[in-house]
Structure 1
Amino acid sequence: MTLPLTLTIPSKTFILGEYSVLSNQPTLLVASQPTCCVRIHQTETPSISLSPNSPAGRFYHKHLKQLGLQLTFSIPERMKDAGLGISGAEWLSVYLAHRMAKQQPFSLWDRSVWQSCLLDYQSHQPNMSIPGSGADWLCQMLGGYLYYDPKNQRVTPTQWPFKDHSWILLQTGHKCATHEHLNSLKDTQPFSAWGQIVRQSWQYWQVGDADGFIEQVKMFQQQLRSSGKTAEQTQLLLQYLMTIEGIVCAKGCGAMGADTIWLMCRRDKIAAVHTALRERSITVVANENDIHHGVTWQQ
């Protein structure tokens, strides 16, 4: 692969499991619009906007700067504002740039490629009391709907199974800095039991049992709330959303559920749900039609 080239990297959303994955439990994610673009080219005076203490910044200064590689990020505002995977996109950019600089062909679905990426990611988080799992950028890398079990490092791509239901991702208008939040956590062991909810939801997902899956989403959100992992503004918005006819479940996503809310609604009520959201000036970030199939690149 010759430079220059441009990477396109999608957003990510944790449907379920954003805290339990920290204790080595499975998680269910989706990659979607909006996307960011990263231009990779060589220059005699490379500079970068990455935080030097982030995994991406550490990797760049260790491996890429001496190669004269410049990475220029073009990130849409709604991806920034909704916390949809900027740090994951940064990590993928530096890692894949390093791979591409070696001029060796590779496949993102090659297990050895993303396992190597996980190992490098883990080794570049020396100051994190609770390291990130890597599940977020793994979803961004591979795209679509993804069930990931970190215990055996098994990745299972899947499809939306509920023909009578759809989903919508909303922006809350608030943010929680994920890395700072992870460093504030003292222990991830309490989240381990939540893994059973994710496993059960996966069973319902695989057989297309919408009612069973919806109950598991509700249970996971209840765990988030009772454990103090739902921001106050998110909880208020969740309470309102559940009064809208057609919405069957909703949960905050990411750190403190602060940035976005993922909801399921009846397919025959989608128009009415969107009308209710517009009336409250609630921003829709993505929906079932905005699925993205992972990192792509072109010269």
Structure 2
Amino acid sequence: MSLVFSVPGKTFLAGEYLALAGGPTLVFLSQPCFETEVSKGVGNVVGLHPESPAGIFISKHRDYFKNFDIQFRDAYAGKGGFGASTAQFLSVYAMWLHKEAHQQDMEKYLDFKHLLEAYYDVAWNGQGQRPSGADLVGQLKGSLTFFEKRQGLISVTSWPFADLEFHLLHTGNKLATHEHLRTLPVFPTQGLESAFALIRESFDKQQSDLFVEGIKSYAQELQKLNFTCEPTLKLLSEIRQIPGVQAAKGCGALGADVVLVVTAQGEAQEFTNYCEGKGLSLLSSSDKISLGLQVRGSL
């Protein structure tokens, strides 16, 4: 018998970097999902690095976790940018709460403020910028999650634009976010805030042209701040020339791992052909939206 904690992949459609200042974010939660399987045992842990946030949390609560065996399965096969580390932490934190709440529906026991406090305790050593945890909240809630920590605002929504679709392209590059944050200076946020406001408004009004404008504007602001790495800038320049593509931006730290590409509905074939020709992986899209944390099984 075992418990399986299923956590979706995550991508910042917008709000990366703003999240570091407690600002607004839009996180897309996608299939396939990461899985952490827990069974009664002797403390064996497979697939979790001992110095990861999840590994450190397990170590801090060794008296509890020594009675279980844990195995983590990465649905993205080690490709960075989709939230493996936060998925691991969310799973072991939910497992730790399970000692007091033997319920299938874990979410009502997961308060985002306590979740973030526990995450910061193991994910940040005080150097550089603290990770935002916005992706963690998204993985808890699922679908498309708007989260603004400074206001304590969370809203979960579906994809509202029938005439648009989006795709997530894995670049094949990899950046360690915690290393990037360690050396990241304080930066101005006004331009990013203005661009994000367009994206938020596009959802409120269900206006697809406003969404495209907002994504383009956010990508421009990231570039102004030198928050998009050179390989991704080159890739974006090529992708934006492809017929059917309406907007594109890098996602997450320096846009290194994942690129968001917005196309008109049903007009992604030339973009798909481009990716095949370049040997680039399309790992998710707007039709692979996922629920947040799910728990199944029993101990």
Q: Which of the numbers 45, 56, 59 marks the counterpart of 1:58?
A: 56
Deviates more, 1:276-285 or 1:106-115: 106-115
Q: Which of the numbers 264, 275, 285 marks the counterpart of 1:277?
A: 275
TM-score by length of 1: 0.91
Give 2:131's aligned residue.
132
- Tell me, what secondary structure is at the counterpart of 1:275? helix
> What does 1:191-210 align with in structure 2 at a 5 Å threshold?
191=189, 193-210=191-208
| 1:44 shift after superposition | 2.6
Distance 1:105 1:45 in 2: 22
- The count of residues paired between Structure 1 and Structure 2 equals 295
TM-score by length of 2: 0.91
Which AA in structure 1 matches 2:143? Answer: G
Give 2:220's aligned residue.
222
- Tell me, what secondary structure is at the counterpart of 2:227? coil
- Tell me, what secondary structure is at the counterpart of 1:152? coil
Distance 1:141 1:18 in 2: 18
| 1:5 shift after superposition | 0.8
Distance 2:33 2:127 in 1: 27
Distance 1:110 1:128 in 2: 33
Which AA in structure 1 matches 2:150? Answer: K
> Does residue 151 in structure 1 map to residue 173 in structure 2?
no
Distance 1:193 1:240 in 2: 25
| 1:277 shift after superposition | 2.5
> What does 1:226-245 align with in structure 2 at a 5 Å threshold?
226-245=224-243
- Tell me, what secondary structure is at the counterpart of 1:81? coil
Q: Which of the numbers 290, 293, 297 marks the counterpart of 2:291?
A: 293
Deviates more, 1:170-179 or 1:129-138: 129-138
Query: Residue 53 and residue 193 in structure 1: after superposition, are their counterparts in 2 closer, same or farther (change >3 A)?
Result: farther
| Residues 25-81 of structure 1: per-residue CA shift (max 9 Å, x gap) | 1000110022221111232343465444433222111124544232211113x3521
- Contact 1:162/1:208 (CA < 8 Å) preserved in 2? yes
| 1:148 shift after superposition | 0.6
| 1:273 shift after superposition | 2.8
- Contact 2:104/2:296 (CA < 8 Å) preserved in 1? no
Query: Residue 80 and residue 186 in structure 1: after superposition, are their counterparts in 2 closer, same or farther (change >3 A)?
Result: same
| Residues 230-283 of structure 1: per-residue CA shift (max 9 Å, x gap) | 111111110110110000000001111000101110114123332333233221
Distance 1:17 1:207 in 2: 19
- Tell me, what secondary structure is at the counterpart of 1:163? coil
Distance 2:43 2:29 in 1: 34
Give 1:177's aligned residue.
176
**Over the residues paired in the alignment, what is the CA RMSD in angstroms?**
2.0
- Tell me, what secondary structure is at the counterpart of 1:229? coil
| 1:217 shift after superposition | 0.8
| Residues 276-297 of structure 1: per-residue CA shift (max 9 Å, x gap) | 3323322111111111111212
Give 1:42's aligned residue.
40
Give 1:249's aligned residue.
247
- Contact 1:21/1:195 (CA < 8 Å) preserved in 2? no
> What are structure 2's unaligned runs of at least 5 residues?
none
- Tell me, what secondary structure is at the counterpart of 2:178? helix
| 1:115 shift after superposition | 2.2
Distance 2:48 2:127 in 1: 17
- Contact 1:108/1:114 (CA < 8 Å) preserved in 2? no
Give 2:17's aligned residue.
19
- Tell me, what secondary structure is at the counterpart of 2:61? helix
> What are structure 1's unaligned runs of at least 5 residues?
none
| 1:101 shift after superposition | 2.4
- Contact 1:144/1:293 (CA < 8 Å) preserved in 2? yes
- Contact 1:12/1:140 (CA < 8 Å) preserved in 2? yes
Give 2:159's aligned residue.
160
Distance 2:197 2:107 in 1: 23
Which AA in structure 2 matches 1:277? Answer: C
Deviates more, 1:125-134 or 1:150-159: 125-134
Which AA in structure 2 matches 1:177? Answer: A
Distance 2:190 2:181 in 1: 16
- Contact 2:145/2:157 (CA < 8 Å) preserved in 1? yes
| Residues 199-234 of structure 1: per-residue CA shift (max 9 Å, x gap) | 231011221111122111111111111211111111
| 1:166 shift after superposition | 0.5
- Contact 2:48/2:72 (CA < 8 Å) preserved in 1? no
- Tell me, what secondary structure is at the counterpart of 2:196? helix
